[in-house]
Amino acid sequence: MAESADDRLRLLIERIERLEEEKKGIGDDIKDVYNEAKATGYDAKIMRQIVRLRKMKPDDRREMEAVLETYKNALGID
């Protein structure tokens, strides 16, 4: 029984390691796309913000924008 549990644990760890490698590869691919965008004149920092905004639910995004506007007004930022 212990040997099969050990095998199962080893297989799970190996799966995690493979997925971590894939995740790193995907991260590298995303970085390459941002670099390509930057090379063609786009602002990668703004693109990252847009990607974050697009992930948000519309109501959450509107709420965040309203709070941000309130804070900017309170600090006199245009």
Per-residue model confidence as pLDDT tens for the chain (78 residues):
567 999 999 999 999 999 999 999 999 999 999 999 999 999 999 999 999 999 999 999 999 999 999 999 999 998
Global pTM exceeds 0.85: no
Q: Residue 78's pLDDT is what? A: 85
Longest dimension (CA), the chain: 68
Number of domains in the chain: 1
Residue-range definition of the domain harbouring residue 71: 5-75
What sign does the dihedral 31-37-40-46 (CA atoms) show? negative
Question: How many residues are recorded in the chain?
Answer: 78
Q: Residue 34's pLDDT is what? A: 98
Cα 50-53-57 angle, rounded to 5 deg: 155
Q: Residue 54's pLDDT is what? A: 96
